[in-house]
Structure 1
């Protein structure tokens, strides 16, 4: 099965390269460092190396506490941080600018045997650390041949992904059996990982609880909020395709019924959709402004006629949460599995989420049980619930305090993960 998988990868390689060039129209980072994606490098590394693979921006942010822990505990090592997306690489560059002398970044080659062999020969890592859901059959097979242990940390696996993997059991099972250690985010994740064939996963929790919100983002959020005057703010964060239309239409339905309409803020999950969402807003005649049109330290009042702010910047999610009174976490109004609500809780904000949270089922249920979050069944009910909370200061404050307490209560996953990795690095 892996031979067939490799053959298909080989056939699709020209299309993969064309796709990089095509995506590079909107995100220039995809047109950079292309030789790395094919396993070609200028020189060989000789420093002892720990390799962490974080595919995109979200995984890179989640890995920050672990990477800093590894750098502190193993000062003789350098760290290799690999990505697949341009935003992941950009995020890593910003997060680790202060330790750039010890953290090297690269794109991971495509999962083709000869490319992976070149990659491993070049860097010779002592340990491979995969973040969350990245299980690549040829990558793991080549690590096994090179006697490089592979660990999967902050691991999560939804029911949908499990069923998909089980259909490819002859390809996925050998890779799962070759993983040396697994640190799962939750008990349901650990159960599903065992069903996949991974033996003895350890539940360590979610490392995103150990990320410290940057003080600069809180300051920017306070400055941005001042420019809105006394207006209350509803944030719809990390929205996905199919959600913005629902939210905008529900917002337009509510506007005639409100004496003092709150400001709506929408931050699409993926940067390539910023212009698309802007077009949706314009088609509906909603008066809006882009975040990118405002200075980072803006303090001048924004006109009262502005009804919506489009968050079209990357790396400022904590700022958006700091600005808001209430946060809805996207990806959950449509069946995409939702996004984690940890950043909202870290900033002490009441959280609303939709019905579709299968990617983060346990943490969402726990947040609801802790009175940090509420579940809604659609865009209209989300806005109704948000408006009700805006009119109830006591309940809103209590939810915000519960959210922050929930965030603090679940910290410690990073130290537990470091303990699991220690035998492979001593």
Structure 2
């Protein structure tokens, strides 16, 4: 009932949220970009299917995720990583760090339609949430699609924990669902445990921002800053800039030639801050215009995105914004990683434990006004020894607590196992008239319509499971492949033998099977590797073809039993192969003796995954085995000879149950 009520509320809020985004676009045009993605209408690259979805809401979360993304890129290819944000500032920060190497999308509104569409199009193997971005409908949709969810760099204040507790009925399934919660600090770990996250899923991995790497090579790229005393005010909010501008004259009198670098948090306020500088009578330049300070310049307005670390590297003293006004403060670690001492205001409740530790370490100091900030900064800058010592204390504070990204990576590795990410090979997509072609460039160098034309020689024909069409052996750059054309069965085959409804390539049968095979291959399951897929649009529908790698020296079970009985070892291999599929919740829509293969060494393989998918639950597994048993009994009636008896079935079930409980098939 609680979740149904939440769904109704979120659906009712959809139009107001979209209207709010449109209105925000008056100040920041980024809020009007790709509004359809907010409703789940994303168009991800085919190569990202089966990969990671990382959600980092805005600038702070993207910055926190940087060390983890860098660590993940050592194991996951770039084309498998997708990062979503809710703010355009977050998107700009992501782009500033990685350009187009990492796919970006805007996160969906938390409704069933938007979240479901998003997941069906992206098809991630895992969702990684940064800090505290917990949306009930997202997680509900992930549960239905068997997508594990991890919460990393997880922070939870006492106020936020109390708020979640008030929504206990809505949030209870969420806490039990989280595959892992990697807490940034010990108090957060305890609060999540109190809310209901199982202890075995909780770890204290530390704050990811301790692992941020400064770029010392940039420190000498701005010679006009090298000999000046610099105060950087990072991530400032409305009310803070005006207070800093009004107080700057006091520091300028004590430290001649000092420069204030103002870095407002939100781009839509850049012009307003420039107007405040005009009214304050300070000489200033704007970074966005390519202007550089001269000796008489008092303020550099850093009205660009993604350069905060650069300014911190050139700072003498750093002020962390959002703390002089009741915002709650921002993270001081980016500045401290650059070996800079920090000043901050009284409002730091978003990072209370962190700032307490910073004060205790001597690397930072709390001030209650802009005037005191200037006085303290001037005192530090006059005493070079003191300033250097505090900078070293800041650096040592960070170094003592590094390692979170590697601890988090190890934790996530256990969640995505047995996935082998490098096997999620790249996918090339191309349009050729009314055709959409996908292929794996590591297996074939050229993919065109000729690849999908059946060879003219009868010797190329292979047996198929359905009997509705033929599969053909074809030559590939590396070895051989199997070309299969999708055909209908039953009554529909008389009306439309090989045409299906739909227009979107990603939803076609060929691309759906290609995507599923790609993921199963990365899991190490006994299935053929996908090579290429084609959707060919025609009128109201489409036809489809797929090419997979040939599994050498294999015959299907029906062929084998036509010649001789299968040994118990072969039946056990088949039972183990089916169990491995079922353990990964792979539902085979047509599990029969034609789609099970045995090779020359007795290994078992499973093929033909048309209309197959990942499916929750357990009851369908017994039904899968029932279907296989019926196909064996049916072939026994149709073929003579056919060397099948029920004793082989017992060996198959015994091996199947070795990886778990075997569902008893019905007679």
Length-normalised TM-score, structure 1: 0.90
Indicate the residue corresponding to 2:151 in structure 1. Answer: 152
Indicate the residue corresponding to 2:129 in structure 1. Answer: 130
Structure 2: runs of 5 or more not aligned: 418-667
Bigger relative contact order (CA 8 A; separation at least 6): 1
Change (3 A) 1:197 1:88: same
Is the counterpart of residue 78 in structure 1 residue 80 in structure 2? yes
Indicate the residue corresponding to 2:69 in structure 1. Answer: 67
For 1:81 and 1:392, the matched residues in 2 are separated by: 44
Indicate the residue corresponding to 1:90 in structure 2. Answer: 92
1:415 deviates by: 0.8
Indicate the residue corresponding to 1:164 in structure 2. Answer: 163
Length-normalised TM-score, structure 2: 0.59
Indicate the residue corresponding to 1:384 in structure 2. Answer: 375
What is the DSSP-based 3-state SS (H/G/I as helix, E as strand, rest coil) of the residue aligned with 1:315?
coil
Q: How does 1:11-410 map to 2 (within 5 A)?
A: 11-42=12-43, 45=46, 47-75=49-77, 78-97=80-99, 100=101, 103-200=102-199, 201-215=202-216, 217-220=218-221, 222-226=222-226, 230-252=227-249, 254=250, 258=254, 260=256, 262-294=258-290, 302-304=294-296, 306-410=297-401
1:94 deviates by: 3.1
For 1:261 and 1:290, the matched residues in 2 are separated by: 18
* Cα distance per residue 1:286-344 (max 9 Å; x no partner): 2222222335xx5xx6141x222222111100111122211111111122221111111
1:113 deviates by: 0.9
* Cα distance per residue 1:164-223 (max 9 Å; x no partner): 333333323332232121001111221222233323321111112222223454234x43
For 1:76 and 1:262, the matched residues in 2 are separated by: 43
For 1:256 and 1:354, the matched residues in 2 are separated by: 21
Kept after mapping to 2: 8 A contact 1:217/1:316: no
For 2:234 and 2:65, the matched residues in 1 are separated by: 21
Kept after mapping to 2: 8 A contact 1:255/1:261: no
Kept after mapping to 1: 8 A contact 2:42/2:105: no
* Cα distance per residue 1:131-172 (max 9 Å; x no partner): 011000100111112111111001111223223333333323
Structure 1: runs of 5 or more not aligned: none
Change (3 A) 1:25 1:339: same
For 1:207 and 1:112, the matched residues in 2 are separated by: 30
1:267 deviates by: 1.1
For 1:68 and 1:43, the matched residues in 2 are separated by: 21
1:256 deviates by: 8.5
Indicate the residue corresponding to 2:450 in structure 1. Answer: none
Kept after mapping to 2: 8 A contact 1:332/1:339: yes
1:48 deviates by: 2.3
For 2:21 and 2:255, the matched residues in 1 are separated by: 48
1:424 deviates by: 1.8
Change (3 A) 1:270 1:374: same
What is the DSSP-based 3-state SS (H/G/I as helix, E as strand, rest coil) of the residue aligned with 1:411?
coil
What is the DSSP-based 3-state SS (H/G/I as helix, E as strand, rest coil) of the residue aligned with 1:265?
strand
Change (3 A) 1:378 1:195: farther
Change (3 A) 1:256 1:370: closer
Is the counterpart of residue 419 in structure 1 residue 414 in structure 2? no
Change (3 A) 1:198 1:232: same
What is the DSSP-based 3-state SS (H/G/I as helix, E as strand, rest coil) of the residue aligned with 2:73?
helix
For 1:76 and 1:59, the matched residues in 2 are separated by: 19
Change (3 A) 1:350 1:276: same
* Cα distance per residue 1:72-99 (max 9 Å; x no partner): 224597112111111212222232237x
Change (3 A) 1:43 1:360: closer
Kept after mapping to 1: 8 A contact 2:230/2:259: yes
Kept after mapping to 2: 8 A contact 1:218/1:318: no
What is the DSSP-based 3-state SS (H/G/I as helix, E as strand, rest coil) of the residue aligned with 2:74?
helix
| Larger CA Rg, structure 1 vs 2 | 2
* Cα distance per residue 1:210-260 (max 9 Å; x no partner): 22223454234x43404xxx43222211112222222223334x2686473
Indicate the residue corresponding to 2:532 in structure 1. Answer: none
What is the DSSP-based 3-state SS (H/G/I as helix, E as strand, rest coil) of the residue aligned with 1:72?
coil
For 1:364 and 1:255, the matched residues in 2 are separated by: 25
Kept after mapping to 2: 8 A contact 1:48/1:76: no
Aligned pair count reads 413
Change (3 A) 1:43 1:308: closer
For 2:63 and 2:45, the matched residues in 1 are separated by: 28
1:65 deviates by: 2.2
* Cα distance per residue 1:372-403 (max 9 Å; x no partner): 11122222221111111111111111001111
For 1:425 and 1:86, the matched residues in 2 are separated by: 29
Kept after mapping to 2: 8 A contact 1:30/1:85: yes
For 1:256 and 1:122, the matched residues in 2 are separated by: 56
Moved runs in structure 1, 4+ residues, more than 6 A? Answer: none
